[in-house]
Chains A and B, each alone.
Chain A
Amino acid sequence: MATVLNRKDFVSDQEVRWCPGCGDYAILAAVQKTMPEFGIAPENTVFISGIGCSSRFPYYMNTYGFHTIHGRAPAIATGLKISRPDLDVWVVTGDGDGLSIGGNHLIHTLRRNVDIKILLFNNRIYGLTKGQYSPTSEVGKITKSTPSGSIDYPFNPITVALGTHGTFVARSIDIEQKHLGEMLKRAHAHRGTSFIEILQNCSIFNDGAFNDVSDKALKADHQLVLEHGKPLIFGKNRDMGIRMNGMRPEAVQLGATVTEKDLVVHDETNLSLAFMLGHFEAPLPTPVGVFYAVSQPTYDGAVNQQLVDAKAKNGAGDLRELLSRGDSWTVN
Chain B
Amino acid sequence: MAVPPEAAEQAAESHESAASAPKPHVKRDQVVIRFAGDSGDGMQLTGMQFTSESALAGNDIATLPDYPAEIRAPQGTLAGVSGFQLNFSSNEVFTPGDEPNVLVAMNPAALRTNIGDLQPNAVIIVDREAFNESNIKRAGYTSNPLTDHSLDKFQLIEVDVSKLTSLAVHGLGLNNRAAFRCRNMFVLGMLSWLFQRPIDNTITSLKSRFKKTPELIEANIRVLTAGYNYGETTEMFASSYEVPAARIAPGLYRNITGNSATALGFVAAAVKAGRPLFLGSYPITPASDILHDLAGYKNFPIYTFQAEDEIAGVCSAIGAAFGGAIAITTTSGPGMNLKGEAIGLAMKVELPMVITDVQRAGPSTGMPTKPEQADLLQAMYGRHGEAPVPIIAASTPADCFDCAYEAVRIAVKYMTPVILLTDGQLANGAEPWLLPDPDKLAPIKVEFATNPEGFLPYARDAETLSRPWAVPGTKGLEHRIGGLSGENLTGNVSHSPANNELMVRTRARKVAGIAREIPPTGVFGDASGDLVVLGWGSTYGPIREAVKRVRANGKKVSHVHLRYLNPLPGDLSETLKRFKQVMVAEMNMGQLLKLVRAEYLIDAFGFNKIQGRPFKVSEIENRINQVLEG
Residue of B nearest to A58 (CB): B480
Q: Do the beta carbons of A323 and B264 come within 8 Å of each other?
A: yes
Given the complex of chains A and B, what is the CA–CA distance between A59 and B494 in angstroms? 12
Q: Do the beta carbons of A104 and B323 come within 8 Å of each other?
A: no
Q: Do the beta carbons of B268 and A323 come within 8 Å of each other?
A: yes
Set A65, A80, A320, A325: member contacting B323, Cβ < 8 A: A80
* A-B contact sample (9 more), CB < 8 A, given A68-B318, A80-B319, A84-B323: A87-B323, A108-B312, A303-B305, A307-B298, A311-B299, A317-B267, A319-B267, A323-B438, A330-B251
Given the complex of chains A and B, what is the CA–CA distance between A326 and B312 in angstroms? 33
Residue of A nearest to B483 (CB): A69
Given A79-B318, A326-B254, CB of A63 within 8 Å of CB of B478: yes
Q: Do the beta carbons of B482 and A68 come within 8 Å of each other?
A: yes
Given A80-B322, A83-B323, A331-B249, CB of A43 within 8 Å of CB of B478: yes
Set A63, A67, A326: member contacting B482, Cβ < 8 A: A67
Tell me the minimal C-beta distance from B229 to chain A in angstroms. 25
Task: Identify the stretch in A70-78, A130-138, A209-217, A265-273 within 8 Å (CB) of chain B at 4 or more residues.
Answer: A70-78
Given the complex of chains A and B, what is the CA–CA distance between A331 and B56 in angstroms? 9
Q: Do the beta carbons of A314 and B299 come within 8 Å of each other?
A: yes
B-contacting residues, A38-76, CB 8 Å:
41-46, 48, 51, 58-59, 61-69, 72, 75-76
Tell me the minimal C-beta distance from B518 to chain A in angstroms. 26
| Interface bits B294-323 vs A (CB < 8 Å: 1, else 0) | 000111111101011101100111111111
Q: Is the interface of B mostly helix, strand, loop or mixed?
A: mixed
The answer, yes or no, to whether B58 is at the interface (CB within 8 Å) is yes
The answer, yes or no, to whether A185 is at the interface (CB within 8 Å) is no
Tell me the minimal C-beta distance from B297 to chain A in angstroms. 6
Residues of A within 8 A of B276 (CB): 83
Given A43-B473, A322-B264, A328-B435, CB of A79 within 8 Å of CB of B253: no
Set B312, B317, B349: member contacting A105, Cβ < 8 A: B312
The answer, yes or no, to whether A306 is at the interface (CB within 8 Å) is yes
Residue of A nearest to B275 (CB): A83
The answer, yes or no, to whether A310 is at the interface (CB within 8 Å) is yes
Which of B58, B473, B482 is the most central at the interface, judged by chain A CB atoms within 10 Å of its CB? B482
The answer, yes or no, to whether B472 is at the interface (CB within 8 Å) is yes
Set A14, A75, A83, A325: member contacting B303, Cβ < 8 A: A83
The answer, yes or no, to whether A281 is at the interface (CB within 8 Å) is no
Given the complex of chains A and B, what is the CA–CA distance between A66 and B322 in angstroms? 9
What are 26 pairs between A and B in contact, CB < 8 Å? A14-B493, A43-B472, A43-B477, A44-B472, A44-B473, A58-B482, A65-B481, A67-B480, A67-B482, A68-B315, A72-B342, A75-B307, A78-B312, A79-B320, A81-B319, A303-B303, A307-B302, A314-B299, A317-B302, A319-B267, A320-B438, A323-B438, A325-B254, A328-B435, A330-B250, A332-B250
Q: Do the beta carbons of B483 and A328 come within 8 Å of each other?
A: no
Residues of B within 8 A of A43 (CB): 472-478
Given A64-B479, A317-B301, CB of A329 within 8 Å of CB of B320: no
The number of residues on chain A lying at the interface, defined by a beta carbon within 8 Å of a beta carbon of chain B, is: 60
Q: Do the beta carbons of A330 and B345 come within 8 Å of each other?
A: no
Set A58, A77, A311, A329: member contacting B301, Cβ < 8 A: A311
Given the complex of chains A and B, what is the CA–CA distance between A328 and B434 in angstroms? 10
Given the complex of chains A and B, what is the CA–CA distance between A79 and B323 in angstroms? 9
Residues of B within 8 A of A323 (CB): 254, 264, 268, 435-436, 438
Given the complex of chains A and B, what is the CA–CA distance between A44 and B477 in angstroms? 11
| Interface bits B253-294 vs A (CB < 8 Å: 1, else 0) | 111000000001001100100001010100000000000000
Given the complex of chains A and B, what is the CA–CA distance between A124 and B205 in angstroms? 63
Q: Do the beta carbons of B249 and A79 come within 8 Å of each other?
A: no
Residues of B within 8 A of A129 (CB): none
Residues of A within 8 A of B308 (CB): 75, 104-105, 108
Residues of B within 8 A of A329 (CB): 55-56, 252-254
A-contacting residues, B20-65, CB 8 Å:
52, 55-56, 58
Given the complex of chains A and B, what is the CA–CA distance between A89 and B297 in angstroms? 27
Given the complex of chains A and B, what is the CA–CA distance between A138 and B479 in angstroms? 38
Across the A-B interface, the 3 shortest Cβ-Cβ residue pairs = A67-B482, A79-B319, A79-B316
Residue of A nearest to B263 (CB): A322
Q: How many A-B residue pairs have CB under 8 A?
A: 207
Given the complex of chains A and B, what is the CA–CA distance between A72 and B346 in angstroms? 13
Residues of A within 8 A of B106 (CB): none
The answer, yes or no, to whether A82 is at the interface (CB within 8 Å) is yes
B-contacting residues, A107-147, CB 8 Å:
108
Set B311, B316, B483: member contacting A82, Cβ < 8 A: B316
Residues of chain B at the chain A interface (Cβ within 8 Å): 52, 55-56, 58, 201, 205, 248-255, 264, 267-268, 271, 276, 278, 280, 297-303, 305, 307-309, 311-312, 315-325, 327, 341-342, 345, 349, 435-436, 438, 471-484, 492-493
Residues of A within 8 A of B438 (CB): 319-320, 323
Residues of B within 8 A of A14 (CB): 480, 492-493
Q: Do the beta carbons of B479 and A307 come within 8 Å of each other?
A: no
Q: Do the beta carbons of B251 and A66 come within 8 Å of each other?
A: no
Given A43-B474, A67-B482, A330-B251, CB of A324 within 8 Å of CB of B435: yes
Residues of A within 8 A of B481 (CB): 65-67
The answer, yes or no, to whether A255 is at the interface (CB within 8 Å) is no
Q: Do the beta carbons of B316 and A78 come within 8 Å of each other?
A: yes
Given A80-B320, A82-B303, CB of A319 within 8 Å of CB of B472: no
Q: Do the beta carbons of B475 and A310 come within 8 Å of each other?
A: no
Which of A61, A83, A325 is the most central at the interface, judged by chain B CB atoms within 10 Å of its CB? A83
Q: Do the beta carbons of A79 and B278 come within 8 Å of each other?
A: yes
Tell me the minimal C-beta distance from A230 to chain B in angstroms. 37
Given A75-B307, A331-B249, A331-B253, CB of A12 within 8 Å of CB of B480: yes
Q: Do the beta carbons of A76 and B475 come within 8 Å of each other?
A: no
Residues of B within 8 A of A63 (CB): 478
Given the complex of chains A and B, what is the CA–CA distance between A44 and B56 in angstroms? 54
Which of B315, B320, B436 is the most central at the interface, judged by chain A CB atoms within 10 Å of its CB? B315
Residues of A within 8 A of B300 (CB): 316-317, 322
Given the complex of chains A and B, what is the CA–CA distance between A297 and B39 in angstroms? 41
Tell me the minimal C-beta distance from A285 to chain B in angstroms. 35
Given the complex of chains A and B, what is the CA–CA distance between A69 and B480 in angstroms? 14
Tell me the minimal C-beta distance from A137 to chain B in angstroms. 25
Residue of B nearest to A12 (CB): B480
Q: Do the beta carbons of A328 and B253 come within 8 Å of each other?
A: yes
Given the complex of chains A and B, what is the CA–CA distance between A45 and B316 in angstroms? 18
Given the complex of chains A and B, what is the CA–CA distance between A82 and B300 in angstroms? 15
Given the complex of chains A and B, what is the CA–CA distance between A249 and B271 in angstroms? 59
Given the complex of chains A and B, what is the CA–CA distance between A83 and B276 in angstroms? 8
Given the complex of chains A and B, what is the CA–CA distance between A67 and B491 in angstroms? 12
Q: Do the beta carbons of A87 and B472 come within 8 Å of each other?
A: yes
Q: Do the beta carbons of B473 and A330 come within 8 Å of each other?
A: no
Residue of A nearest to B401 (CB): A323
Given A62-B478, A78-B316, A323-B436, CB of A317 within 8 Å of CB of B271: yes
Tell me the minimal C-beta distance from A293 to chain B in angstroms. 24
Given the complex of chains A and B, what is the CA–CA distance between A269 and B307 in angstroms? 28
Given the complex of chains A and B, what is the CA–CA distance between A18 and B249 in angstroms? 67
Q: Do the beta carbons of A331 and B251 come within 8 Å of each other?
A: yes
Given A84-B323, A327-B254, CB of A319 within 8 Å of CB of B484: no
Given the complex of chains A and B, what is the CA–CA distance between A14 and B494 in angstroms? 11
Given the complex of chains A and B, what is the CA–CA distance between A51 and B482 in angstroms? 10
Given the complex of chains A and B, what is the CA–CA distance between A18 and B611 in angstroms? 55
The answer, yes or no, to whether A283 is at the interface (CB within 8 Å) is no
The answer, yes or no, to whether A229 is at the interface (CB within 8 Å) is no
Set A44, A104, A303, A326: member contacting B255, Cβ < 8 A: A326
Residues of B within 8 A of A328 (CB): 252-254, 435
Residues of A within 8 A of B477 (CB): 43
Given A59-B482, A105-B308, CB of A48 within 8 Å of CB of B254: no
The answer, yes or no, to whether A315 is at the interface (CB within 8 Å) is yes
Residue of B nearest to A313 (CB): B299
Given the complex of chains A and B, what is the CA–CA distance between A79 and B435 in angstroms? 32
Residue of B nearest to A71 (CB): B311
Q: Do the beta carbons of A84 and B268 come within 8 Å of each other?
A: no
Which of B345, B438, B480 is the most central at the interface, judged by chain A CB atoms within 10 Å of its CB? B480
Given the complex of chains A and B, what is the CA–CA distance between A41 and B345 in angstroms? 27
